[in-house]
C-alpha cells in the first residue's frame, strides 16, 4: 500500500480536474469538516458535493505534497501546496492540510482546509 496522503491526493486531483463532484464527495467521510474558499466551514458529503459542483468546470489543480504522517492504522494526514488555475490565467495558490481516516475500507478525508498563500502578514 502506498502513502495514504499520496493516494488520496492523486484521486482528489483526478476528480477535481475531471469536474466530478460525486467522485470528490466520495473521497470524504460522511461527517467530514471542510474549509474551502468559502467563508464558513461546511460539514458532510452532501455539502462537499455541492461545493465542488459550484466550481467552474475548466479549473485544474497542481499538487505538490510536502509532508505526511500516519498515526497507527486509522489516521493519517499532511500538507500540500496546491495551485488552482483555469485557461483564462486565473490562479489561486493555497496551502492544503488534510486529516485522513481509514473508513468504509478506504482512506477518506476527515478534515480539509485550504488557506490562500500570501506574502503579506
At 109 the pLDDT is: 98
* pLDDT band per the 50, 70, 90 thresholds, residue 2: low
Structural contact between residues 100 and 11, judged by C-beta atoms closer than 8 angstroms: no
CA 81 to CA 66: how far, in whole Å?
7
Nearest to 82 by CA among 47, 107, 48, 117: 117
- Mean pLDDT (whole number) for 102-113: 94
**For the segment 72-92, what is each residue's pLDDT rounded down to a tens digit?**
999 999 999 999 999 999 999
Q: What is the DSSP string of 24-49?
A: HHHTEEEEEEEE-SSSS-EESHHHHH
CA 68 to CA 84: how far, in whole Å?
21
At 108 the pLDDT is: 97
What stretches of 1-121 adopt beta strand conformation (E)?
A: 28-35, 42-43, 60-71, 75-85, 91-103, 106-116
Answer yes or no: is pLDDT of 5 > 70. yes
**For the segment 48-68, what is each residue's pLDDT rounded down to a tens digit?**
999 999 999 999 999 999 999
Residue 8 dihedral angles phi and psi, to the nearest 5°: -65, -45
**For the segment 19-57, what is each residue's pLDDT rounded down to a tens digit?**
999 999 999 999 999 999 988 999 999 999 999 999 999
Share of the chain above pLDDT 90, in %: 88
pLDDT higher at 104 or 90: 90
Amino acid at each position: 500500500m502506498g502513502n495514504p496522503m499520496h493516494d488520496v491526493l492523486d484521486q482528489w486531483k483526478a476528480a477535481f480536474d475531471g469536474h466530478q463532484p460525486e467522485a470528490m464527495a466520495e473521497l470524504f467521510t460522511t461527517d467530514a469538516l471542510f474549509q474551502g474558499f468559502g467563508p464558513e466551514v461546511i460539514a458532510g458529503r452532501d455539502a462537499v458535493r455541492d461545493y465542488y459542483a459550484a466550481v467552474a468546470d475548466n479549473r485544474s489543480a497542481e499538487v505538490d505534497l510536502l509532508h505526511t504522517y500516519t498515526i497507527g492504522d486509522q489516521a493519517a494526514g499532511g500538507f500540500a501546496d496546491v495551485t488552482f488555475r483555469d485557461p483564462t490565467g486565473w490562479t489561486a495558490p493555497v496551502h492544503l492540510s488534510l486529516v485522513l481516516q481509514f473508513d468504509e475500507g478506504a482512506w477518506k478525508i476527515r478534515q480539509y482546509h485550504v488557506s490562500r498563500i500570501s506574502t503579506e502578514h
